[in-house]
Amino acid sequence: MNAINKQTLSPFHQGEQAIQQRLGVRDKMERFGNQVIRDHMPEQHREFYQNLSYVFIGYTDLNNRPQATMLWGAPGFIESLSPTQLIINAPTLAGDSVMRHLPAGAKIGLLGIDLQTRRRNRLSARLIQLTDTSIKLSVEQAFGNCPQYIQQRGLEHIQPSALPAASTSDIGHLNAAAIQLIKQSDTFFVASAYQLSGSRNEGADISHRGGQPGFVRVDDDQTLTIPDYAGNFHFNTLGNFLLNPQAGLLFIDFKQGHLLSLSGRAEILWDTDEKRFFNGAERLWRFHLQQGQWRYHALPLRWDLQSYSPNTRLTGNWEQAEAARKAYQLRKQWQSYQISRIVDETPGIKSFYLKPPSAQQPQFKAGQYLTLKAMINGKQQIRTYTLSSAPDDDFYRISVKLENGNGDHPPGVFSGFLHKHSQSGDTILAKAPDGAFVFATPPERPAILIAAGIGITPMLSMIRQALHEAVRHRNQPKLTLLCSVRNLQQRAFYTELNALVQQSPDALKIYWTISQPEADTESMPPNTFQGRITKRLLQSIIPSQDCDVYLCGPDNFMQTQYTWLRDLDIADANIFSESFGPATLMREQSATDHEPIAEQAVIHFSRSQTELIWSKNDGYLLDFAEQHGLQPDFSCRNGQCGACKVKITQGQVAHKAHSAALNDGEILLCCAQPKATPQHETPKLSIEC
C-alpha cells in the first residue's frame, strides 16, 4: 500500500506496481485499487474492528526489520474514535519488548480478521501514540479483503488464571518445535515493509497466508519455501519484498496458545521449476531466518479448526508436490493403478476410479487421456481413455462405453474386459496422462464444447477445470456445452453437469439433443431438443465468432460439425478436436506433412538390438517393426493416442498428420517414415524400441 498517493495518485507503490506490470494486471488494478482503497474506514469496518478479540500488526523494528505480531483483548478492546482513528487497548503490549520502542509517526500495517466468519479488513496507518497499554493509530489507507484461503476456526477464550506462566525464548535457527509447528500450519501471517528515498520506514503491511498443512516447506533449520497463490493482485507483500527483501513471519499454535515470530530475508522465486508440481502455486518465495522468538503460553485464546476454505482445497502441499514430481519422472513407464470404484453412469457407460501407485498422481491437463494395458485372452491389448475427472480432483476417473458389437462387428475387446471382468480392487497397468487435446481458453473468451455420446468425457473434465480455475482466480468463464445423445437415458453425467450449472449458472450453459427419445417421452426437459444437432442450433448457441470450439465424438459427427463451424466463420485455428475412432478430422487446409520420404534407410532398433533395411513400400515404422517380429506398444494406429511414441537418437522422420503431442526427440511409430536427406544418401535412424 502506498501512503504517498498524493504524489503518484496511485494507491500502489512502485514495488507493487512493478509486479502488477510484470503480470499484466497493472491497468486493471489501478482502476480497481482506486475504487476499493479508501483514506478512511467505512462505518462497516469500524464496527468490524470494534467486535474483534484479536488483531495482527506489522511494523518495522529499530533495526529496520519487519516484524509480525498480534494483540488481543475482550471484544471492544479496539475502539474506533473516528473514521481515521483507532485505539487498541492491549495490556499485552507490555510483553512485546520490540514493539514498545516504536516512535510516534512509525508506519503500521493492521489486519483485522475473524477466523470464525472468515471476514477480514486491512489498514495502513501511522502511530500517533504508544503506551504500555494502548496504541493509537491514524488511518491512511483502508480496504476489505475476500476470505480466499482463510480456514474457518471457532474461538475459545481462556481465563488468564488458568494459563501457565508465559515465557519467551530467542532462537537463531528453527528448533524441533518450530519445525513441527511450521510443518503442520495451515495459516501464518507475514509482515513486510518498504522504504523510498532513504527514509526509514515508509510503509508496513501484514498479510494472511493460508494453505493446506504442509504448504510451508522447511528446507533446513534456517530456510522456508512458500507458494504464492492467486490472490487480490494488490501484491502488498511481494511488492514490499521487491523494495526491501525482509520479512517477519508469525505462526500460531492454535491449540496451545504459543506464538512463533521469525524475522529474516525474503527472496521471490519467479520461474523456478519447483512450483510446476505444486497445485495452485503461481510463484514461490523463500525465507532465510535471521532471528526468531518463541512466546510460550502467550495467548489466552484457543481456536478449533472447523473447515478448510474452498480455495485452500484447490491447492496442494509440498508432500503432494514431491509425489507429483516423482510421478512425472515415471510418466513414461507402465505402472500399476488400482481400480478403487466402479460407477454405472448410463446403461452402457461405466466410470472407473483409479488410484495411482503410492498416491503419486501425475498431474494432467483437462482433455488428456490415460493409456491402459491388459492381457486379454492371452493377448496384450492397449487402449486410451480420456480422464473424465478434473486435474484438481484427488482421483483419476475414466468413463468407458461398452462396445457391444452387432452383426459383422464383434464386441469391443477392452471395453468388454473393463465392463464385464474388472472389479473394484483390481489393478491395471497405465501410463501417465498424455495428449494434446487440452483446454486452453482464457476465461474472458467464450468456449463451446460439442460432444456426441462418450465424447462427453474430455468436455466434463474441461468444464470442471475451468470452473475450478474460476474460483481460484475469481473470474467467470463463458462455457457452452452442446451434447448429442441417442435417448434421455444416455445422458452420461447428467446429474453432475446439472450440479455444475446450478453452482455457476452464469458461467455454464448446457444444451442436449436427443435423436431417438424413449417411446414414453412426453416432453423434452429444458434446453433439450429432439433430433440431432443442426447448423441452426449450432448458430444459435455460438455467442460470437471469436470463440474456441472443442469437438469430440464419432468421426462423421465431428466432420459435419467442423464443416458447419467453418461455414459459420469460426476460424480453423480455433477449432480443436479429438477423435476416439479410427480417423482424424479432415481440415480444410489439411496439416499433412509434405516432407520428403527416403527411398531406403537403415533402422537400428536399439532396445531389441536389431538393425534392418527399410524401403519406401515398407510403410510406417510401426508396421515395419511388427513385420520383423518386434512388438512396440501401440493403440489407435492413427497418431492420436501416443501409445507408440518412442525416442529417436539418430536420424529424422517425416510424420503424417497426427494429433498426439511430441517433445523434441520423440516420434510416433504409427505415423513416421524415414525422412530423405538433402544429399539423397541412405539415412541411418536409431530408435529406442
Ligand X SMILES: Cc1cc2nc3c(=O)[nH]c(=O)nc-3n(C[C@H](O)[C@H](O)[C@H](O)COP(=O)(O)OP(=O)(O)OC[C@H]3O[C@@H](n4cnc5c(N)ncnc54)[C@H](O)[C@@H]3O)c2cc1C
Give Cα separations from 157 to 89, 134, 162, 253, 536 (angstroms). 17, 21, 11, 15, 65
* 413 or 597: CB nearest ligand X: 413
What are the grid coordinates assigned to 530, written together? 429432439
* 235 or 396: CB nearest ligand X: 396
What is the distance between the alpha carbons of residues 76 and 46, in angstroms, rounded to a whole number?
Answer: 11
Task: Please work out the total of residues on this chain that contact ligand X, with binding judged by CB under 6 A.
Answer: 26
What is the distance between the alpha carbons of residues 641 and 669, in angstroms, rounded to a whole number?
Answer: 12
Q: Is 347 one of the binding residues for ligand X (CB under 6 A)?
A: no
User: Which of 76, 105, 405, 543 is close enough to bind ligand X by CB under 6 A?
Assistant: 405
Q: How far is the CB of 401 from ligand X (least distance, A)?
A: 4
* 525 or 582: CB nearest ligand X: 582
Q: Is 596 one of the binding residues for ligand X (CB under 6 A)?
A: no
Site track for ligand X across 612-651, x = CB under 6 A: ------------------------x---xx----------
User: Which of 49, 303, 511, 580 is close enough to bind ligand X by CB under 6 A?
Assistant: 580
Q: How far is the CB of 578 from ligand X (least distance, A)?
A: 6
Position 653, amino acid: V
Q: Is 383 one of the binding residues for ligand X (CB under 6 A)?
A: yes
What is the distance between the alpha carbons of residues 55 and 49, in angstroms, rounded to a whole number?
Answer: 8
Determine contact, residues 287/130, Cβ cutoff 8 Å.
no
What is the distance between the alpha carbons of residues 585 and 383, in angstroms, rounded to a whole number?
Answer: 20
User: Which of 267, 274, 403, 599 is close enough to bind ligand X by CB under 6 A?
Assistant: 403
Kindly report the number of other CB atoms within 10 A of residue 286's CB atom. 18
Going by their DSSP bridges, the two strands 653-655 and 672-674 should be labelled as antiparallel
| Burial bucket for residue 76 (CB in 10 Å: 0-12, 13-18, 19+) | exposed
Site track for ligand X across 92-121, x = CB under 6 A: ------------------------------
Site track for ligand X across 442-481, x = CB under 6 A: ------------x--x------------------------
Span from 130-138, 255-263, 401-409, 606-614 in contact with ligand X (CB under 6 A)? 401-409
Q: How far is the CB of 225 from ligand X (least distance, A)?
A: 37
Site track for ligand X across 355-374, x = CB under 6 A: --------------x-----
Q: Is 412 one of the binding residues for ligand X (CB under 6 A)?
A: yes
Nearest partner of 305 among 183, 152, 156, judged by Cα: 152
* 453 or 477: CB nearest ligand X: 453
Q: Is 230 one of the binding residues for ligand X (CB under 6 A)?
A: no
Span from 190-198, 407-415, 602-610, 669-677 in contact with ligand X (CB under 6 A)? 407-415
What is the distance between the alpha carbons of residues 517 and 514, in angstroms, rounded to a whole number?
Answer: 6
CA 472, distance to chain mean position in Å, is: 8
What are the grid coordinates assigned to 131, written together? 503506551
* 570 or 641: CB nearest ligand X: 641
Q: Is 385 one of the binding residues for ligand X (CB under 6 A)?
A: yes
Span from 137-145, 205-213, 380-388, 520-528 in contact with ligand X (CB under 6 A)? 380-388
Q: Is 414 one of the binding residues for ligand X (CB under 6 A)?
A: yes
Give Cα separations from 456 to 166, 291, 576, 578, 670 (angstroms). 61, 56, 14, 11, 26
DSSP letter string, 50-116: HT-SEEEEEEE-TTS-EEEEEEE-STT-EEEEETTEEEEE-GGGGG-TTGGGPPTT-EEEEEEEETT
Span from 46-54, 114-122, 243-251, 381-389 in contact with ligand X (CB under 6 A)? 381-389
Residue nearest ligand X by beta-carbon distance: 412
What is the distance between the alpha carbons of residues 389 and 351, in angstroms, rounded to a whole number?
Answer: 10
Binding site for ligand X (CB under 6 A): 369, 383-386, 398-401, 403, 405, 408-410, 412-416, 454, 457, 578, 580, 636, 640-641
